[in-house]
Copies of this chain bind each other. A is one copy, B any other.
Amino acid sequence: MDFTPHTDADVARMLGALGLAESADLFRHLPAGVALAHELALPVPMAELDVMRHIDELGARNTAGLCCFAGGGIYDHFLPPVVRSLTLRPEFVTSYTPYQAEVAQGVLQALFEYQSMVAALMGLPVANASLYDGPTSGLEAVNIAVAHTGRHIVWLSRGVRPHTRQIVGTFARARGLEVVEHPLVDGRTSWTDGPEPAAVVFSQPNHLGIIEDYDAAVTAAHGRAALAIVEADPMLLGVLRRPGDAGCDIAFAEGQPLGNPMSFGGPVLGMFAVASGLLRRVPGRLVGETLDRDGRKAYTLTLRTREQDIRRDKAASNICTNQTLNAIAAAVHLAWLGPDGLAEAGRQSVQKAHHLADLLCTIPGVALAHGAAFAREFAITLPADPVDVIAAMAQRGYLAGIPLGDDHPDLPNGLLVAVTEKRTAADMTGYAASLAEVLHDV
């Protein structure tokens, strides 16, 4: 089936009005070699019911309903149904970027509120209307720093999420930036000296779940007139210090836990906030308040001269389409949580993470990889290959975590375990018991 309303009679009538005989005549001006002479080998059309059966079949090939202890930026937090109900309003879902403000006040105000809440979350004065995801936001942050300082060296903590480091790397190779990685000592970044960087980039907590020393990182940056850039875990901003309060210049985050299901990693959203001095370097869209011709409060896209469609090859970023709908979901969820709900979700996640860590450490051969304080995620070392353990745990209904070996050669049998407020004491007892069995068997 297709979704064109045209009947054969409609097509005939329209072609007739154009003086054409058949649909193929619409393409007569295409050069011979270019116009396809044959039909492409594509699947046959399907009835809606058949398509749904096909998607069901594909879905059935995923192992269903694993109790999730994997994190690494994407977390299984509780999403109240109201978030979905409001975010999926067709007026939000099926509209384009709000260029025509007169008929886009809904999306514009929702984004203005999103910006306001992200700024409040980060403790910084300005936030944009979303970027693609956390890791690519890190790249945009580095770009700002390079442009702002005119330097080409970037200090990157080894504790920054691997995907973020890889993306910065991908781009650095093309742009000739030099990325200096700073090692972790017992899980926390040690900032060794070196040539002056454009930016000092770290994660809070870092990829191993460990709480970094804000002052050490910010001093390392500001002591060298570099920007302090932090990747924050948004669900912990009710319990941990806010980037702005800690003196960071740019904060970005993988915003998925706020309002968005895990979605196999996308669509999610990048949250992005900066200190006031950097306002005019902010990538992506900004919604501002203004007045209409009748003096009524109105919202509109603003400071557009930063953007690609106006600045073209001088633009600092090429982003156009962003993750607006995911940002609206985040706004709804943040408003649902409020300051107390956010703090409670963070507090419970942290408490439960420590509860599980204790349970796991009673299993012979299992130990915490580091002594440093962690928040809601932690690294353990196993007496077996984590890949095999994860497979065996899945049989018992658990997604046990993420193997660390590839990214941290010093932890060949390391497993990264995340806990959210959604995991019950029973889930954790079951997880620990299953892990004990699994390790006993292997």
Contacts and interface: CB of A to CB of B under 8 A. Distances in A.
Nearest to A78: B49
A80 B48 CA distance: 7
A78 B48 CA distance: 10
A422 B49 contact: yes
A81 B55 CA distance: 14
A78 B53 CA distance: 12
Contacts of A52: 81
A23 to B, nearest CB: 23
Contacts of A81: 48, 52
Contacts of A49: 78, 422
A34 to B, nearest CB: 37
Report how many copies the assembly holds. Answer: 2
A102 to B, nearest CB: 22
Contacts of A78: 48-49
Interface string A177-215: 000000000000000000000000000000000000000
A342 to B, nearest CB: 15
A81 B90 CA distance: 14
A347 to B, nearest CB: 15
Nearest to A49: B78
Nearest to A424: B53
A423 to B, nearest CB: 11
Contacts of A48: 78, 80-81
A312 to B, nearest CB: 40
Interface string A399-424: 00000000000000000000000100
A422 B50 CA distance: 10
Nearest to A422: B49
A334 to B, nearest CB: 16
A335 to B, nearest CB: 13
A379 to B, nearest CB: 28
A90 B82 CA distance: 12
Contacts of A422: 49
A226 to B, nearest CB: 43
A400 to B, nearest CB: 22
A422 B422 CA distance: 38
Interface string A73-86: 00000101100010
Nearest to A88: B85
A51 B422 CA distance: 13
A75 to B, nearest CB: 15
A78 B51 CA distance: 13
Interface string A42-84: 0000001100100000000000000000000000001011000
Interface in A10-67: 48-49, 52
7 contacts: A48-B78, A48-B80, A48-B81, A49-B78, A49-B422, A52-B81, A85-B90
